[in-house]
């Protein structure tokens, strides 16, 4: 990467290894991708709850929440920052704005991972090249792409925000899966069948992967009982 701004990278005394040792697990980025309504956010939040019960350190970056601040749209920025700023930095849903949305989120998720935290991101992130760029900025094994493979018919039937209805009526242009493409992952680390299993079951599949990859420690009987109790309360 060309650096013509005289910006220098500074190493810190507390290393990533130090933080991971303190946390008792490795940092990583778990990147949930899939159509709107596929279940990404629900699974990410369920997984976050389970990891918290287990004593792991995790955080969820959700697509809608992030667009309230870091990646706010033009109309949200005008009042506080003025029109020129809002026009330059506000993000919409064009292809280039989606690219910048994912670039910013990838950078934030990388910071969490480097701090020994399990970063959970729930974004449609429809374009394969944008997801691959995030992967390429991380060390091998740090980026875990999770394809929430839910048929569009199921997503459209759920339609929790009424977006598919608006897109079908022509009231919403450039909507992923209707008049804008979704490029499914070619070789994701995990594929979750969200139309066939519960969020708890799918979160457990991700946990099994984390343990199998040595990112999280093996589950002992006490932890298993705590997680099962959490499932009962959550259900």
CATH architecture entry for 17-234: 3-Layer(aba) Sandwich (3.40)
Q: What share of the chain is helix, strand, coil (3-state, %, to 5)?
A: 50, 10, 40
The C-alpha angle with vertex 128 and arms to 126 and 133, in degrees rounded to 5, equals 115
Model confidence pTM above 0.75: yes
**Res 177: pLDDT:** 86
Q: How many CB atoms lie within 10 A of CB 112?
A: 20
Using one digit for the tens of pLDDT, what is the confidence trace for 211-233?
Answer: 999 999 997 756 555 666 666 55
Which amino acids are annotated catalytic? 125
Domain ranges in the chain are 17-234
Residue 12 structure tokens? 């810190």
**Res 224: pLDDT:** 56
Which residues of the chain are modeled with pLDDT < 70? Answer: 1-4, 221-235
Q: How far is CA 92 from the centre of its chain?
A: 18
**Res 233: pLDDT:** 58
Find out whether 46 and 199 touch, Cβ atoms under 8 Å.
yes
């Amino acid at each position: 990467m060309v650096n013509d701004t005289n910006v220098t990278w500074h190493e810190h005394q507390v290393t990533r290894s130090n933080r991971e040792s303190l946390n008792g697990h490795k940092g990583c980025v778990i990147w949930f991708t899939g159509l709107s309504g596929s279940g990404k956010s629900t699974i990410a939040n369920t997984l976050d709850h389970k990891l918290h019960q287990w004593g792991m350190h995790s955080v969820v970056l959700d697509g809608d929440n992030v667009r309230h601040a870091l990646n706010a749209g033009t109309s949200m920025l005008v009042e506080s920052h003025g029109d020129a700023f809002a026009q330059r930095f506000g993000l919409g849903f064009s292809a280039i704005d989606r690219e910048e949305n994912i670039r910013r989120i990838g950078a934030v998720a990388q910071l969490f991972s480097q701090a020994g935290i399990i970063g959970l991101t729930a974004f449609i992130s429809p374009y394969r090249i944008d997801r691959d760029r995030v992967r390429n900025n991380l060390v091998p094994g740090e980026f875990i792409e999770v394809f929430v493979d839910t048929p569009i018919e199921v997503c459209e039937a759920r339609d929790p925000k009424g977006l598919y209805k608006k897109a079908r009526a022509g009231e919403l242009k450039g909507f992923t899966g209707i008049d804008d493409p979704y490029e499914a992952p070619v070789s994701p680390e995990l594929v979750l069948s969200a139309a066939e299993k519960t969020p708890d079951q799918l979160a457990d599949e991700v946990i099994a992967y984390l343990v199998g990859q040595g990112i999280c420690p093996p589950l002992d009987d006490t932890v298993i009982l705590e997680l099962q109790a959490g499932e009962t309360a959550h259900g």
